[in-house]
């Protein structure tokens, strides 16, 4: 049971989904979270309601920020992986479903609940109390109106209460939970001995008459499948790379436009002093802010060691001022562009001139650099190859329909398509339908190859995209229908099968006899392995078969024995020497385990609830948009 529960509560994907459906109370994520303008291409639909590409992109950014805040390394490969993209989308869908249920059941958050929550948010605290000035200032800096912000928090609180309400429904009698946990965390000291089928193969004989009789009784098992030899033409993006070119200027432009993508794992650590102005500031107000910032900059330049003290005294970034302006480590894409450009052009110890951003004037001190960046020269060949492939993909997309039309309209031969698209006519060995499907990685293509149009009428198959950017058409040049295998072809295999079955019976008999002796307390000369202590998560090198059975052994009397047979492998006897109830003598560990168990049950309850919501809705995915590189 706990295995089933764990799969819904562990792993980074589960944490991403959780991060997207719990309250995103970090103020500086709310602006992007609410901004749904643009990018209206749908990556999915829930009962006809679009999840736009912009909403998905914002969710990716929120997930990235959340994972970084948890100390997890987040690189481009992870962000581009199908598993990450799917988990982000699942989080959005889950939130949509819960919000729909909230609306359907008219669940509401009262004004008092909303007010109490906002009053307690640490972002708006000053000297331990709610500050209306800080509240208004931060909302203005993030381009939020109080109504828009409060609407978002109200919605988030409703989602949170639904989730907590589901968890609170979980009830498990402590005695039952204790028994489950004792079993889950139990350790067993075990040894095993194996009686192997291979050791008995030379003790059995199989006569030619037995082999012949088996063949006669099972002829339908020995049918050779129909096979074809194919000619095929492949139009692929990889094959078109020789027909496209990329200039050095294009490579440099791509590098400049995608600097963040090629940053490697470089992180910068910086502190800053912010003298802010809001988006509605007049020229006079901006000038006053600049004058104040220039005055502080002069003090910093005169005495760089005073930076932290001046940040505490003057910086208007409430999140970092108390820490001497320290912003911690960040990579490219984490800060607004003017700030990022300045920070990534500095050396450790440098103090910048005034840097203007939408938040105000920054004085930046670079305090550290970790990881490595990737300069243009080292990335040039890689970028060129990527651009060549992108152009080849574009050319492939242009030619795909024409290729499909050509092999269809001139279906008596592949030669016209081969000449028109400058391809190579390739040949295959004789293959069965399953082998064709495996070779081309397409069940649909295999079905077309063995269709009447292709086999009997000698036509080309239609063009099939057997994998991304690979379009293939084939025709059959030789066909062998299914036919019985001769006795001479299969007799060696039959003889081996019958020997293994006979040896398996001997092994079963010997194993059961040994087990009976051991249970009766008789001594044996069994070859036991060195005892090891295992639990349900640590096999200590024991086989899967042993681990499936070791906790089935009745340990009322020790040592305890259990035997099982694995067909054509052998008979294994397990000896349990000692049992350690790990939690009995560790009440603090047991208490923590019980709480985790309760949380796992709550997570399973939430998972089941969301699954029930999904079952009632029509959910559609636009895989082409979701899984395209960079979602472009």
Average pLDDT over residues 362-390: 84
Instruction: For 97-150, write each residue's pLDDT tens digit.
Output: 877 777 777 777 788 888 888 888 888 888 888 888 888 888 887 777 888 888
Residue 610 pLDDT greater than 80, yes or no: no
Domain span holding position 413: 227-244+390-484
Q: What is the pLDDT, as a whole number, of residue 45?
A: 83
Evaluate whether residue 181 is within a structural domain.
Answer: no
Q: Which residue, 373, 405, 421, sits at the end of a domain?
A: 373
List of residues 6+ apart from 533 with CB closer than 8 A:
187, 188, 189, 190, 540, 580
**Looking at the structure, do residues 111 and 237 belong to the same domain, yes or no?**
no
Task: Calculate mean pLDDT across residues 499-527.
Answer: 90
- Whether residue 631 has pLDDT greater than 90: no
Looking at the domain assignment, is residue 87 inside a domain? yes
Assign residue 54 the CATH number of its domain: 1.10.4030.10
Residues 533 and 458 in one domain: no
Looking at the domain assignment, is residue 180 inside a domain? no
- Residue 586, domain member (yes or no): no
Judged by average pLDDT, the poorest of 96-105, 185-194, 269-278 is: 96-105
What backbone torsions phi and psi does residue 39 show, to the nearest 5 degrees?
55, 45
With cut-offs at 50, 70 and 90, classify the pLDDT of residue 374. Answer: low
Residues 152 and 36: their CA atoms lie apart, in Å, by 13
Q: Which helix (H) or strand (E) holds 229?
A: strand 227-236
| Cα gap 479→135, rounded to integer Å | 78
Q: Are residues 47 and 142 in the same domain?
A: yes
CATH of the domain at 453: 3.10.50
Comparing 111-120, 268-277, 565-574, 618-627, the range with the smallest average pLDDT is 618-627
3-state secondary structure of 451: coil
Last residue of a domain, one of 484, 503, 538: 484
Q: Are residues 548 and 403 in the same domain?
A: no
Which of 91-105, 406-420, 520-534 shows the highest mean pLDDT?
406-420
Asked if residue 25 has pLDDT above 70, the reply is: no
Predicted local confidence at residue 378, as pLDDT? 72
Find out whether 342 and 256 touch, Cβ atoms under 8 Å: no
Domain-embedded: residue 568: yes
Looking at the structure, do residues 540 and 477 belong to the same domain, yes or no? no
**Quick one: pLDDT at residue 322?**
87
Q: Are residues 203 and 327 in the same domain?
A: no
> What whole-number distance in Å separates Cα of residue 453 and Cα of residue 551?
57
β-bridge mates for residue 234, sequence order: 472
Is the pLDDT score of 385 beyond 90? no
- Phi (first) and psi of residue 572, to 5 degrees: -120, 135
Domain annotation covers residue 471: yes
- Using alpha carbons only, give the angle 350, 355, 357 rounded to the nearest 5 degrees: 140
> Which 3 state secondary structure label does DSSP give 370?
strand
Give pLDDT, residue 515: 93
Give pLDDT, residue 38: 39
Whether residue 171 is predicted with pLDDT greater than 70 in this model: the reply is: no
pLDDT reading at 473 higher than 70: yes
Query: What is the value of pTM for the model shown?
Result: 0.42
Q: Are strands 464-467 and 425-427 parallel, antiparallel or unpaired?
A: unpaired
Residues 215-234 have a mean pLDDT of 91
What is the percent of the chain where pLDDT is above 90? 35
Q: Look at 372 and 410; give whichever has higher pLDDT.
A: 410
How confident is residue 602, by pLDDT bands cut at 50, 70 and 90?
A: low
- What tens digit of pLDDT does each residue of 6-17 get? 343 344 444 444
Are residue 27 and residue 126 in the same domain, yes or no? Answer: yes
Tokens of 91: 């989080």
Residue 475 scores a pLDDT above 90: yes
Which is higher by pLDDT, 563 or 114?
563
**Residue 166 vs residue 331, higher pLDDT:** 331
The CATH number that applies at residue 288 is 3.10.50.40
Are 113 and 125 in the same domain?
A: yes
Mean pLDDT over the full length of the chain: 81
- Do 513 and 464 fall into the same domain? no
What's the structural domain count of the chain?
Answer: 4
pLDDT tops 80 at residue 300: yes
**Structure confidence at residue 372 (pLDDT):** 66
pLDDT tens-digit series, residues 309-349: 999 999 998 888 888 999 988 877 778 889 988 988 899 99
12 and 67, same domain (yes or no): yes
Q: Which residue has the higher pLDDT, 498 or 255?
A: 498
Domain's final residue, options 441, 462, 484: 484
Confidence of residue 511 (pLDDT cuts 50, 70, 90): very high
Q: Are residues 477 and 502 in the same domain?
A: no
- Domain match, 16 and 143 both: yes
Q: How far apart, in whole angstroms, are the C-alpha atoms of residue 522 and residue 221?
A: 46
Residue 288 lies in a domain: yes
The verdict on residue 249 lying in a domain is: no
Tokens 């030669």 — which residue? 415
Quick: pLDDT tens for 426-438.
999 999 999 999 9
């Amino acid at each position: 049971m706990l295995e089933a529960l764990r799969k819904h509560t562990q792993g980074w994907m589960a944490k991403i989904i959780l991060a997207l459906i719990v309250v995103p109370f970090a103020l500086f994520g709310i602006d992007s979270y609410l901004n749904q303008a643009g990018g209206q291409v749908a990556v999915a639909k829930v009962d006809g309601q679009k999840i736009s590409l912009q909403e998905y992109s914002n969710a990716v950014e929120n997930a990235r920020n959340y994972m970084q805040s948890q100390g997890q390394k987040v690189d481009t490969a992870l962000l581009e992986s199908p598993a990450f993209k799917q988990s982000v989308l699942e989080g959005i869908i889950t939130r949509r479903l819960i919000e729909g249920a909230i609306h359907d059941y008219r669940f509401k958050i009262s004004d008092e609940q909303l007010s109490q929550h906002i009053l307690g948010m640490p972002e708006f605290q000053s000297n331990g109390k709610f500050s209306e000035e800080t509240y208004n200032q931060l909302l203005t800096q993030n381009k939020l109106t109080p109504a828009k912000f409060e609407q978002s928090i109200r919605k988030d609180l409703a989602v949170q209460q639904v989730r907590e309400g589901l968890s609170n429904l979980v009830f498990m009698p402590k005695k039952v939970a204790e028994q489950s946990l004792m079993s889950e965390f139990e350790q067993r000291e075990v040894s095993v001995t194996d009686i192997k089928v291979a050791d008995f193969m030379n003790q059995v004989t199989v006569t030619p008459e037995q082999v012949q009789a088996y063949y006669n009784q099972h002829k339908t098992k020995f049918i050779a499948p129909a096979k074809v030899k194919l000619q095929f033409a492949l139009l692929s993006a990889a094959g078109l790379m020789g027909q496209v070119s990329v200039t050095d200027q294009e490579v440099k432009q791509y590098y400049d436009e995608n600097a963040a993508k090629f940053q490697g794992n470089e992180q910068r650590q910086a502190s800053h002093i912010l003298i802010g102005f809001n988006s509605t500031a007049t020229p006079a107000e901006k000038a006053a802010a600049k004058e104040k910032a220039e005055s502080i900059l002069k003090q910093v330049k005169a005495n760089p060691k005073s930076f932290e003290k001046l940040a505490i005294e003057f910086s208007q970034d409430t999140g970092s001022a108390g820490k001497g302006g320290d912003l911690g480590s960040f990579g490219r894409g984490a800060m607004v562009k003017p700030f990022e450009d300045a920070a990534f052009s500095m050396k450790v110890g440098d103090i910048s001139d005034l840097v203007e951003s939408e938040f105000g004037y920054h004085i930046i001190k670079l305090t550290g650099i970790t990881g490595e960046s990737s300069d243009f020269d080292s990335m040039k060949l890689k970028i060129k190859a990527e651009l060549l492939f992108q152009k080849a993909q574009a050319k492939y997309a242009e030619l795909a329909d024409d290729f499909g039309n050509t092999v269809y309209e001139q279906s008596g031969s592949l030669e016209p398509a081969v000449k028109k698209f400058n391809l190579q006519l390739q040949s295959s060995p004789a293959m069965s339908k399953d082998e064709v499907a495996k070779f081309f990685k397409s069940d649909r293509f295999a079905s077309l190859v063995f269709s009447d149009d292709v086999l009997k009428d000698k036509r080309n198959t239609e063009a099939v995209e057997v994998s991304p950017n690979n379009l293939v058409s084939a025709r059959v040049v030789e066909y062998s229908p299914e036919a019985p295998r001769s006795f001479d072809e299969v007799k060696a295999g039959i003889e081996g099968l019958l020997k293994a079955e006979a040896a398996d019976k001997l092994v079963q008999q010997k194993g059961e006899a040994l087990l009976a002796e051991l249970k009766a307390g008789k001594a044996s000369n069994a070859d036991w392995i060195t005892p090891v202590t295992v639990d349900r998560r640590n096999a200590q090198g024991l086989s899967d078969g042993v681990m499936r059975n070791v906790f089935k052994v009745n340990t009322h009397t020790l040592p305890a024995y259990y035997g099982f047979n694995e067909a054509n492998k052998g008979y294994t006897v397990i000896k349990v020497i000692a049992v350690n109830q790990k939690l009995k003598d560790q009440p603090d560990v047991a208490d923590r385990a019980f709480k985790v168990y309760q949380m796992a049950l709550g997570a399973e309850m939430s998972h089941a609830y969301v699954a029930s919501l999904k079952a009632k809705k029509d959910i559609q995915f636009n895989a082409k948009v979701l899984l395209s590189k960079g979602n472009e």
